[in-house]
Every structure is written in structure tokens, then in C-alpha cells.
Amino acid sequence: MNKTDFGRRLRVWFRRHGRDLPWRQTRDPYAILVSEMMLQQTTVAAVVPYFERWMKRFPSFEELATAGESEVLALWQGLGYYRRARNLHASAKKIDGDWSGKFPQEYESLRALPGIGDYTAQAVRAFAFDQPVPVLDANVIRVVARLFDLRTPVDTAKGLARVRGKLEELLPAKGGHEFVSAMMELGALVCRAGRPDCLVCPVKEFCAAKHPENLPVKAPKAPIKERTELAAWVWDGEAVLLQQSTARRWVGLWRLPPLDDQLTGGPAAELTYSIVRERVTLRIHPRSKGDLVASTEPRKAFSLRELQQIAIPSPHRRAIAKLLKDRFDHG
Ligand code: SF4
């Protein structure tokens, strides 16, 4: 493949069809790091309003570094995977404190920041510093696997190394920002998961895929596990009792107090949610405060207004909203 011709075609298409996303307007490493952390496991459409709100409240590493954790988590609320917010907060403190506000450009230094893996480090180098480096997100991996008709599963080390090697062959000598953005956009808009839109693809003459809808190949996944969680609904007519988690998954967040007893009678609310390789059924049972067994985690009753200002895991927030609605609908 002639990489110069390929790059030119891609660039022309991107300049005409690329979306005008808020984080594409900036070269500020802080804004780019925020957008990349938010975009992990979350769609572009969901991230846009969060990104704009976040940048208004915390426009720089310095502002974020000096904020309290509860405010940081409350602003992240609804995006899920709160570890990303904590890592961003910890990164801001490190950059603002240890590195006197100077954001690193080198791969190793970026990887030393909390929660920054290979993808995020390379994305920041490309988008903030215009470096032509391999940025392997799901869209780029799919496009490269199809362009070169790669059949090794891309979720294995060997498969990913092949994709990286082929992507490196395509990288331009400069202009990493535009090249990476264009590859991602091609994957998002044309070379989509499932059935790609090859008829309108700007680089179809370079593409070796015979059955692109079957690519990229993935290794077989372990089956999804089913699990049930029980929690208590303690409501005195004005406030809801919550318990602050010290467990790794939701550390620092306020959730309905967990129950581990076998309960009789149906739950007051039930909903399901998914986490990595698990589908969880959350059942909420009415309880009085005195029924709860002692816990080392703090408990506190929150008024309706206070509930808006604290970070609550989204399945528990949904359950609370449903139970409050039922209470008010039925007087
Ligand atoms: S021709 Fe089809 S499969 Fe190949 S890169 Fe374009 S959209 Fe993807």
C-alpha cells in the first residue's frame, strides 16, 4: 500500500466529513486527557455534555487539583466507572504538584500517571502534541484489521501486535493529530462494526478485506455470570438512609445499605445492570434502621435535596428514583 496516497485520501475525506467534536478544537493536554478518560467505555454522545460541564467547572489541572473529592465525583455522576474520575483527580494533583504544572510529552512519563494505559498515553501524544504515534482504540483496530485482512484475534497480544505493526506502516512523518482523528472517524462513520459502508469508503481501493463484516476476529468470551445483590430501603418520609462504600468498585460512593440475609416477601424495587462479564439483579427490600446489622462503613440519612449533591452509583440512583416516585405517586 502506498502510505502517502492512503494518507491523502483519508485526510481529504476527514476534512469534509469529520465531526466537529468539542475536544477536537483544542490542543490543551488537560482538555484532551479529560475527554479521553471520559470516552473510555462511554459513547461520544453521552460524553459531550459532561465534558462541557467539567471544563467549565475545572478548566485546568490546577483547578481540578485543588477541588475536593466529593465535588469531583458528583460532577462525574452518571458517567459510571468512577475510578476514572479519581485517576484524573490524582493525575491533576501529580502534575500540578510534583511536576509544577508541566504536562509530560514522553510515553513513559504519561504511563506513570494513574489510570493512563497505552491507549490514553498515545492519544494524548497525538492529539495534544501532534506526534505520529499508533493510537489503538476499537475503531482504529477494526479499520486496520480490515484494511490488511488480519485474521489473528485482536484481543490477544499477538493479534494486537500485528495491528500495531500495520498501523505503524501507515503513520505519516508528521501530523499525528489529524491522522489519528481521521482513522478513528473512518471507523466510527464508515468502517463501522458489523456491516461497513464500503461503497462510500474513501480508502476502499487500499482495502484487502474480503469479508469485512467478519472482522476484526475476537477470541471466544467467557459466558456472562448472573448475580443478585440485596439492599435496604430505609425511608422516614423525609430522608433516605445510605451507606458509604469502602469496597473497591464503588469506594467513597453512597449506596443503599447492602443486605446479606435471606428475605421473605417480594422486593419493593428490582432492576438489572451489567458490569464486566456479569449481569447483576439488584433487589431493594424495605427495612427499618434498627433491622440493619452493624457495619464499619458510615451511614447517613440524606434529604431529597442532599441526594442531588452526592455521588451515588447509577444503579442505586435509579432504584432510589423509582422508589421515591412510587412513594409520591401513592401519597
Ligand atoms: S473498504 Fe470497507 S472494510 Fe475496507 S476500510 Fe473501507 S469501509 Fe472498511
Is 136 found in the same domain as 51? yes
In the reported structure, the alpha carbon of residue 179 is separated from the centroid of ligand 1 by a whole-number distance in angstroms of: 17
Which mutation among 190, 205, 210, 215 tests ligand 1's pocket best, with the greatest number of atoms within 8 A of CB? 190
Residues 203-220 have a mean pLDDT of 96
pLDDT score at 326: 85
pLDDT score at 264: 64
Predicted confidence (pLDDT) at residue 34 exceeds the cutoff of 90: yes
226 labelled catalytic: no
| C-alpha separations of 194 from 146, 181, 217, 220 in Å | 12, 21, 12, 17
pLDDT score at 176: 93
Is 187 found in the same domain as 51? yes
- Residue where one domain finishes, among candidates 181, 214, 247: 214
In the reported structure, the alpha carbon of residue 193 is separated from the centroid of ligand 1 by a whole-number distance in angstroms of: 11
| Residue 220, in any domain of the structure | no
Q: Please report how the helices 138-147 and 176-189 are oriented relative to each other, as an axis angle in degrees rounded to 10.
A: 80
Predicted confidence (pLDDT) at residue 99 exceeds the cutoff of 90: no
Q: Which of 36, 106, 270, 306 is catalytic?
A: 36
Contacts of 21 by beta carbon, 8 Å cutoff, 6+ apart: 44, 48
Is 229 found in the same domain as 83? no
pLDDT score at 249: 84
pLDDT score at 331: 61
% pLDDT > 70, the chain: 98
Question: Whole-model pTM?
Answer: 0.74
Residues 253-261 have a mean pLDDT of 90
Contacts of 157 by beta carbon, 8 Å cutoff, 6+ apart: none
Predicted confidence (pLDDT) at residue 65 exceeds the cutoff of 90: yes
In the reported structure, the alpha carbon of residue 2 is separated from the centroid of ligand 1 by a whole-number distance in angstroms of: 16
Is 105 found in the same domain as 241? no
pLDDT score at 52: 94
Please tell me the total count of domains within the chain.
2
* pLDDT, the chain, mean: 92
pLDDT score at 262: 62
Q: How confident is the model at residue 278 (pLDDT cuts 50, 70, 90)?
A: very high
| Residue 103, in any domain of the structure | yes
Q: Which domain holds residue 271?
A: 225-329
Q: Which atom of ligand 1 is nearest to the CA of 197?
A: 7
Q: Is 204 in the pocket of ligand 1 (CB under 6 A)?
A: yes
- Residue where one domain finishes, among candidates 214, 247, 282: 214
Q: Is 203 in the pocket of ligand 1 (CB under 6 A)?
A: yes
Q: How confident is the model at residue 25 (pLDDT cuts 50, 70, 90)?
A: confident
pLDDT score at 57: 96
Predicted confidence (pLDDT) at residue 97 exceeds the cutoff of 90: no
Q: How confident is the model at residue 184 (pLDDT cuts 50, 70, 90)?
A: very high
pLDDT score at 316: 96
pLDDT tens-digit profile of 123-170?
Answer: 999 999 999 999 999 999 999 999 999 999 999 999 999 999 999 999
pLDDT score at 222: 86
pLDDT score at 263: 64
Give the domain CATH number at 122: 1.10.340.30
Is 318 found in the same domain as 230? yes
Give the domain CATH number at 305: 3.90.79.10
